[in-house]
Structures are given as structure tokens and as C-alpha cells.
Amino acid sequence: MNPDANPQKTTAVRPLPDLKQTLRAVAQLSRWKMLKELTCGEARTIAELTAVGGCSYASGVKHLQVLQRAGMLERGRGGVYQLVRQYLPVPGTPVVDFGHCLLRLDAAEQK
């Protein structure tokens, strides 16, 4: 039997983000809005996310760092951010599944 005939694919699965960090991270409206923007499944620049979050560039960088430290975002080349793919069940929907909590980011719209 050839061991290369049927190689098993291994997919790295990240552990669930810490619940306390997750709750602290989403407790701020600017970060909530940034997360909602990222549910499109596409990476966004810091400038795009700060505009959506309604905050300054410097404040936006800090907000994004909080989300990244919480394990919710990945930073790519060129300073773009995106949701960790494993937590985005259906790209384009405003729902993020962090395993221990499901965020419906459209449910908190302010009118």
C-alpha cells in the first residue's frame, strides 16, 4: 500500500477565543461596527474600518488590536484586517460564530 496514495489533509483549527476577552472586545460600539463590516468576508484597511467604526485612525488601530488579541481578527499584508475564517460560517452574513457565542451583528443596529 502506497502511503502517498491517500494523504489525509490536516486543517489547523484554532481554539475558541477566550470568552471574557470576546465579551470585552464586542462591548464597544466601534468594534462591533468594525466586526460587522468584516462579515463580508473581505479584508479591510484600517482607514476603511475606522470610517465604519466612527473613530479616529489612532483609536481605530487600538480597537483592531483589541479584536486581534481576542483572537477574532487576522492582520494581513498591507495593514488589512479580516475575520478569522473559522468563525465566519457564511461569508456576507452579519453572523459570527465564536463557538461559545454567536454574534448577530445586524441585531444591534441603531436607528
Where residue 43 sits, what CATH number does that domain have? 1.10.10.10
**Structure confidence by residue, pLDDT tens digits, 54-100:** 999 999 999 999 999 999 999 998 889 998 888 776 766 788 887 77
Contact 21, 73 (CB under 8 A): no
Domain that holds residue 75: 19-104
83 found inside a domain = yes
At 12 the pLDDT is 56
Distance, CA of 15 to CA of 71 (rounded, Å): 9
**Structure confidence by residue, pLDDT tens digits, 16-52:** 778 888 889 989 999 999 998 998 888 999 999 999 9
13 found inside a domain = no
- Backbone Cα Rg of the chain: 16
Angle between helices 29-38 and 57-69 (to 10 degrees): 70
29 found inside a domain = yes
At 9 the pLDDT is 45
Distance, CA of 68 to CA of 62 (rounded, Å): 10
Q: Residue 49 in 3-state DSSP?
A: helix
Counting the structural domains of the chain, the total is 1
pTM of the entire structure? Answer: 0.77
At 66 the pLDDT is 95
71 found inside a domain = yes
Angle between helices 46-53 and 57-69 (to 10 degrees): 100
111 found inside a domain = no
